[in-house]
Amino acid sequence: MAEPRFEVELTVNGVRRGATVPARRLLSDFLRHDLGLTGTHVGCEHGVCGCCTVLLDGEPVRSCLMLAVGAAGHAITTVEGLAAPDGTPSPVQRAFTECHGLQCGFCTPGFLCTVTALLRDNPRPADDEVLEGISGNLCRCTGYQNIVKAVHRAARLMAEAE
Amino acid sequence: MTTKMFGEPIRRLEDPRLVAGRGRFLDDLGRDALAAAFVRSPHAHARIADIDVSGALDVDGLVAIYTWDDLAGRVGEPLPLLIPHPALTHGRTGYPLARDVVRHVGEPVAMVVAADRYVAEDAAERVAVTYEPLPPVVGVEAAAAAEHLVHDDVPGNVGAHLVQEVAGENGLDAPAAIERAPHRLEFRLAIERSASMPLEGRGVYARWDADDESLRVYSSTQTSTSVRMAVAAKLDLPPTKVEVIAPDVGGGFGVKIVHPWPEEILVPWAARLLGREVKWTEDRREHFVSSAHERGQVHFVRVGFDDEGRVLGLDVRFLHDHGAYTPYGIIVPIITSTQLLGPYKVGAYRVEFTSLYTNTVQVTPYRGAGRPQGVFCMERTMDRIAAHLGRDRTRVRAANLIQPGDFPYDQGLTFQDGRPLIYDSGDYPELLRMVKELIAWDDFGAARAEAAARGRRLGLGLACYVEGTGVGPYEGGHVEVDSAGRVHVSTGLTSQGQGHQTAFAQIAATELGVPIEDVRVTTGDTRRFRYAVGTFASRAAVLSGNAIALACRALRDKALRIAAEALEADPRDLDIVDGVVRVRGDPAASIPLRTVAVLSNPLRYAFDEEAARATQFAVGGSADLPPVAEGDQPGLEGIGYYSPVRSTFAAGAHAAVVETDPDTAEVRILRYAVVHDCGRLINPRIVEGQIHGGVAQGIGGALYERLVYDEHGQLLNASFMDFLMPYATEIPVIETAHLQTPSPLNPLGIKGAGEAGVIPVSAVLAAAVEDAEGIVIDAMPISPDDLFRLRREGAAAAPAAGREGEPAGLSGSGDRNPAGD
C-alpha cells in the first residue's frame, strides 16, 4: 500500500524549496535527504544532542523532533545559510574556527545555529549565560572549553562589526 | 607565512569546511542508495526457534530480507578474532547475522534492504522471530560464579586468564614481599561500564561496479585499510578490487576501531548481490545495544609498604567483563594490568586477570583503553597508603616515583604490543611538582577551612599516570609535489576529528620548507595509501607523523639532487624556503619546487607550458645515460614508513578541587588542573583540545555515565535521555600546563596525546570526593544518590586526624584494613 505523500513548500536559507514527502518525514531527514542539505546532522533522533538544531523563523529547533509537513510555510536557516551570500563566514563561524571550537565537527552545525540565535538575543552574554545558552547541545570532543571561548569571541566580533 | 610550522598553535585547516556545513560524514553520502535496517534481538540470551518474514513481504519499497541462512560462503562464518593471544583460550565471535543463538540484546538477526530507511524499518518491524529465552549472565561477578554459561563450550564463562609477575630487587615475589612488609592493606575496587559514544554512530555505504567487478566501501571507521582486507577476504575479492574510504568521521574514541562489524560485511555483500548502492546508518539506540562498551572491572588489591609509603609488593587480581564476544581479544585487560603501575616502582608485582563472558554488548577499547581502571586501582592504593600512614598523599607518591635518571626504565612486564614495557623518557617528579603548584596543593588548607566555616565541604584529589602511546606495528606516509607546486600528503591512517590534516600538514611544511597553504592531506583512503594499521592507542601523530616526516625527507633529498643539477650547485649548499630551492648565500640562484617536480618526470608529451620544460628536446643531459637513472623513479615523490621498536610513554598528573553538597550530595568540580607531557608538541592548540575532550569524557565517566543492565540483560538507559553525557554546564574550566620530555625513540621526539585526558579522572575525583567527605570511595562512577547512600551507611564516617603535611579538615583516612598490620 502506497503511503500518502504531501507537498511541503518552505523557505530554506532564503530560497523557496519544496518536495513531496510522507507525513512522517522528519524535518531533519527532509533537509538532509530530500533537499540535500547535509550540513544538519542527526546524533540521537530523540531531541537530546542538539546536532540537528536549525533556526525556524529565527528560533532554534530540533529538526529531528519536527515533521517536515509541520515546517511548511516557515523559514528555515541551516548551517549552510549562516555565511554571507558571498561565502564570508558569519562571526559565529569565524569564532569557532579561530578558537578551535570544534574537533570532529559533527555537533558543530547545531552549536553554530544555537549560538547564532543566542547572540542575536543577547549580544554580550556573561559566562553563565553562555553556559546556559549552549547547555542543550552535546559535544563529545572538545570538553566545551573552546566552544565557550568561541561564543565570547563571536560576541566581540559582532560588536566590532557594528 | 613562515614555513617553520612545527610547534605552532595554528588554526585547523579542516575547520572552514566543517563550519560551513560542507563536512562529508557517512550519511551525507549516497543519497540515492538503498537503505538497510536490522532486526535485532530483544533478548539477552535466547535460541532462535523460527524467523518468519512473510508479514514483511508486502511492504511497499521492500527490496530484500536476509537471515543467516542466506549468507553464502565466508560471509556466513563467524567474524574474525582480530587480536589472538595465547591466554585467550576461549575466544568467541559472533556471526554477521545470528545463527541459532543470540547472546546480547541488540545482536543482529536479520537485515532488511528497502527504498529508504523508513520503509526498511517498517519491514524490519514485521519480521516475526520466535525466541526461546535462555538464562542470561549479567555482571562480571555473576559471570565468575558461572551458574549459567554464555557460550555452552566455554566453561566458567572464562575467555582468558593471564598472570604476570615481577619479583622485587630482593628476589621476593609479590605475595612474599607483602607478607614481610611493615604495613599491609587489602581492598576491593570497582568501575562500571561506559562507552565511547561518538555523536556520529557507525555507518557503511557500498557501491558495486559490476562492469569493473570492483567494490567501493565508505565506512565511519578508525581503520579503512583493515576493513578493506576484511571485506575482500569475506567477499572473496582480490584486495585490488576493493577500495575503502573513511570520510569525515564524527568521533570514534575507540569504538570504531572494531572491524569488520557485521554491517561492514553485510552492506557490501548486499550491494554486490543486488547490484545496487546500499547504505546503513546506525541510529542511537543501535549504537547503545550493538556496538561496544568498555571499563567494567572489579579489582581485589593487596599491597605491602614501608613507613615512608614505599610499595614493597603489590598483588592485584581483577575480573574483566568483556561482554558476549571477544573480537578485539584481551587488549583492554592487558593494558589495565600493565599500565596500572603508572610512574611508580612498586617492588614486587603480581597481576592476574580473568576475562569473562556476559550476555551484554561486547567490550572493546574506549579512549584510555583499560588505563582508567588501572590508574584508578593504583592511585586509590596510593591514597589508602597515605591515609593509613597519615602522610601527605603527594609525599607517598613521590617516595615511589621513577626518577629522571632511571630511563629507559624496564617495568619487567609484557605490554599490549607483545613488547617489553620499557618507558622511554619522562620526568615524573617534575610533573608532580607542577601539578601541586598549579592546583596550589600546599595552600588548600586555608580554602578548605574557610569553606568549612561556611558549611561548605571541599576536597582535593590528584592522580598520576603513564600512557603507552604510539604502538606499532607501523604507519606509512606518501608525499608528492605536483607541477603546480601543490604538496599532496597521504597516510592510510584515518582521522576521527583530531585535526590530522593540520598536524600532518605542519610536519610536511616544516620538513619540506613549503607554505602550509600548499599542503593537502588525505587520510584513511585506500586509493591513496594502502598500507596502514589505524587510529587508536594515541598513535596517529607518533606513527603517521614520523612516517610523513621520513617521506618528506626522502622527497627533499630528491628535490635537492634534481635542483642541484639544474642550478649546477652542490646539493649540500641548497635550502628549500617557501617552496623555492635556493643556493645558500646566492639569492639569485633558485628554482621553485614546482619546476623541480616538472624536471623530475622526463616527458615525451607536453600537456601545458610547464610540462614542455621536461620534454625530450627541452631537457639536456648526457646522451649516454637513461633519462631516468638506474634505481631512480620519475616524479617528485617520497614515501616513508615508521615502525617503532616499542611504544613511547607519555605521562601526566591531574588534580581537582571538588565541593560536595551537604544536602543533595551533588559533586561540583571547582577546579581541574592538568599537567601533561607528550614530548614535543606539533600543535599545542590541538593537544590542548585533546586534553579538554579527554577530561570531559573522564568527568562523564566519573560522575554521570554508566550503562545500567537489569538482571535480564536489558540495557535500561539506551538513550541520551538516560545515559548522562556531560553538557557544558557539567565541565569546569580545565587548567593545563605542559612539560616536554622528547621521546628518544622517533625522529620527531613526539609521544601520543589523544587519550591522555580521560585516564586519571575517575581516580582524581574519587580522591577529591573522599577528601571532602571522609568516606572511602572504592567504586566509580559516583552519582549523588551513591554518595547519599554512602553517607547514610556512615561508612567509616568518623573523621580521622589530618594527614601529616596536609591541612586537617574533613579529610579522613576511613580505611578498612582487613589485612591488619
Whether the per-residue pLDDT at A144 is higher than 90: the answer is yes
Hunting for cell 619540506 — which residue is that? Answer: B512
Q: Would you call A36 an interface residue with chain B, using a CB distance cutoff of 8 Å?
A: yes
Chain A residues 119-158 with a CB less than 8 Å from chain B: 130-132, 134-148
Q: Bridge-partner residues for B467, per DSSP?
A: B650
Hunting for cell 606516509 — which residue is that? Answer: B477
Chain A residues 56-75 with a CB less than 8 Å from chain B: none
Answer for the pair A41, A51: CB distance below 8 angstroms, yes or no.
Answer: yes
Of B17, B18, B125, which to mutate for an interface test with A (greatest number of A Cβ within 10 Å)? B18
- Residue B421's identity, in one-letter code, is L
Q: pTM, whole model, 2 decimals? A: 0.95
Contact B19 A51 (CB under 8 A): no
Q: Out of A40, A93, A135, whose CB is closest to B19?
A: A93
- Tell me the Ramachandran region of residue B385: left when phi exceeds 0, alpha when psi lies from -120 to 50, beta otherwise: alpha
Using a CB-CB cut-off of 8 Å, the residues of chain A touching B497 are: 103-106, 141
Distance from CA of A12 to the nearest CA of B (A): 14
- Read off the C-alpha cell for B592: 621553485
Q: Is the previous residue joined to B781 through a cis bond, with omega within 30 degrees of 0?
A: yes
Q: Would you call A44 an interface residue with chain B, using a CB distance cutoff of 8 Å?
A: yes
Answer for the pair B66, B270: CB distance below 8 angstroms, yes or no.
Answer: yes
* Contacts of residue B64, Cβ cutoff 8 Å, sequence gap at least 6: B112, B113, B270, B273, B274
Contact B727 A37 (CB under 8 A): no
What ipTM was assigned to the predicted interfaces of this complex?
0.98
Backbone φ, ψ for residue B19 (5° rounding):
-75, -15
**CA dist A101 → A23, B448, B722, B734 (Å):** 37, 34, 26, 15
- Burial per residue of A41-79, b for 16 or more beta-carbon CB atoms within 10 angstroms, e otherwise: bbbbbebbbbbbbbbbeeebbbbbebbbbebeeeebbbb
Q: Out of B24, B685, B731, whose CB is closest to A144?
A: B731
Using a CB-CB cut-off of 8 Å, the residues of chain A touching B731 are: 143-145
Helices B371-389 and B331-339: angle between axes, nearest 10 degrees: 30
Contact B199 A43 (CB under 8 A): yes
* Contacts of residue B303, Cβ cutoff 8 Å, sequence gap at least 6: B178, B184, B185, B186, B311, B313, B314, B315, B381, B384, B385
Residue B818: what pLDDT?
Answer: 37
Contact B199 A112 (CB under 8 A): no
Q: Is the dihedral of CA B268, B269, B270, B271 positive or negative?
A: positive
Distance in angstroms (rounded) separating the CA atoms of residues A33 and B805:
64
Q: Would you call A97 an interface residue with chain B, using a CB distance cutoff of 8 Å?
A: yes
Answer for the pair B430, B346: CB distance below 8 angstroms, yes or no.
Answer: no
How many CB atoms lie under 10 A from the CB of residue B436?
21
Hunting for cell 543577547 — which residue is that? Answer: A122
- Residue B821's identity, in one-letter code, is D
Q: Out of A25, A97, A139, whose CB is closest to B11?
A: A97
- Read off the C-alpha cell for A73: 510555510
Count of pairs with CB atoms under 8 A, one residue in A, one in B? 180
Answer for the pair B439, B658: CB distance below 8 angstroms, yes or no.
Answer: no
Using a CB-CB cut-off of 8 Å, the residues of chain B touching A110 are: none
- CA distance from start to end of chain A: 57
* Contacts of residue B789, Cβ cutoff 8 Å, sequence gap at least 6: none
- CA distance from start to end of chain B: 66
| Burial degree of A127 (CB within 10 A; 0-12, 13-18, 19+) | exposed
Q: How many residues does chain B have?
A: 821
Contact A104 B199 (CB under 8 A): yes
How many CB atoms lie under 10 A from the CB of residue B352?
15
Distance from CA of A103 to the nearest CA of B (A): 5
| Burial degree of B609 (CB within 10 A; 0-12, 13-18, 19+) | exposed
| Burial degree of B615 (CB within 10 A; 0-12, 13-18, 19+) | middle
- Read off the C-alpha cell for B246: 573513511
Instruction: Report the C-alpha dihedral over residues B655, B538, A109, B492, rounded to 10 degrees.
Output: 170
Of A38, A86, A90, A141, which to mutate for an interface test with B (greatest number of B Cβ within 10 Å)? A141
**CA dist B354 → B103, B406, B726 (Å):** 20, 32, 32
**Positions in chain B whose pLDDT score sits under 50:** 1-3, 796-802, 807-821
- Read off the C-alpha cell for A28: 531533519
Instruction: Report the C-alpha dihedral over residues A66, A71, A75, A77, rounded to 10 degrees.
Output: 30
Contact B729 A135 (CB under 8 A): yes
Q: Would you call A15 an interface residue with chain B, using a CB distance cutoff of 8 Å?
A: no
Contact A143 B733 (CB under 8 A): no
Q: Out of B12, B58, B250, whose CB is closest to A106?
A: B250
Collapsed DSSP state (helix, strand, coil) of residue B478:
strand
Q: Compute and round to an integer the Cα radius of gyration of chain A.
A: 16
Residue B800: what pLDDT?
Answer: 45
Distance in angstroms (rounded) separating the CA atoms of residues B82 and B103:
19
What's the pLDDT tens digit per position in B407-441?
A: 999 999 999 899 999 999 999 999 999 999 999 99
Q: Out of B27, B497, B727, whose CB is closest to A103?
A: B497
Residue B624: what pLDDT?
Answer: 87
Contact B60 A45 (CB under 8 A): no
- Residue B141's identity, in one-letter code, is E
Q: Out of A36, A78, A135, whose CB is closest to B31?
A: A36
Contact A105 B497 (CB under 8 A): yes
Distance in angstroms (rounded) separating the CA atoms of residues B600 and B619:
11
Distance in angstroms (rounded) separating the CA atoms of residues B196 and A142:
14
Q: What does the DSSP assignment read for B302-361? A: EEEE-TT--EEEEEEEEEEE--S--TTTTHHHHHHHHHTTTTB--SEEEEEEEEE--SS-
What's the pLDDT tens digit per position in A30-48?
A: 999 999 999 999 999 999 9
Q: What does the DSSP assignment read for B271-295? A: HHHHTS-EEEE--HHHHHHHS-BB-
Give the containing element (helix H, strand E) for B118: helix B117-125
Using a CB-CB cut-off of 8 Å, the residues of chain A touching B23 are: 38-39, 105-106
Distance in angstroms (rounded) separating the CA atoms of residues A41 and A106:
7
| Chain A residue at shortest CA distance from B19 | A93
Whether the per-residue pLDDT at A92 is higher than 80: the answer is yes
Contact B250 A104 (CB under 8 A): yes
| Chain B residue at shortest CA distance from A108 | B19
Distance from CA of A67 to the nearest CA of B (A): 13
Answer for the pair B329, B85: CB distance below 8 angstroms, yes or no.
Answer: yes
| Chain B residue at shortest CA distance from A3 | B60
Contact B284 A43 (CB under 8 A): yes
Using a CB-CB cut-off of 8 Å, the residues of chain A touching B499 are: 103
| Chain A residue at shortest CA distance from B736 | A145
Contact A97 B198 (CB under 8 A): no
Residue B803: what pLDDT?
Answer: 56
Distance in angstroms (rounded) separating the CA atoms of residues A133 and A151:
10
Distance in angstroms (rounded) separating the CA atoms of residues B456 and B657:
13
Distance from CA of A98 to the nearest CA of B (A): 6
Using a CB-CB cut-off of 8 Å, the residues of chain A touching B733 are: 145
Answer for the pair A96, A147: CB distance below 8 angstroms, yes or no.
Answer: yes
Q: Bridge-partner residues for B355, per DSSP?
A: B160, B320
Distance from CA of B744 to the nearest CA of A (A): 29
- Tell me the Ramachandran region of residue A36: left when phi exceeds 0, alpha when psi lies from -120 to 50, beta otherwise: left
Q: Out of B28, B200, B692, whose CB is closest to A146?
A: B692
- Burial per residue of B222-250, b for 16 or more beta-carbon CB atoms within 10 angstroms, e otherwise: bbbbbbbbbbbebbebeeeebbbbbbbbb
Identify the CA nearest to B770 among candidates B184, B379, B185, B310. Answer: B379
Give the containing element (helix H, strand E) for B174: helix B174-180
**CA dist B396 → B313, B315, B355, B448, B690 (Å):** 15, 18, 32, 21, 30
Identify the CA nearest to B204 among candidates B280, B255, B260. Answer: B280
Distance in angstroms (rounded) separating the CA atoms of residues B188 and B316:
10
Using a CB-CB cut-off of 8 Å, the residues of chain A touching B728 are: 130-131, 134-135, 137, 139, 144, 147-148
Mean pLDDT throughout A89-96? Answer: 98
Backbone φ, ψ for residue A70 (5° rounding):
-75, -15
Contact A104 B729 (CB under 8 A): no
Residue B364: what pLDDT?
Answer: 97
Using a CB-CB cut-off of 8 Å, the residues of chain B touching A109 are: 21
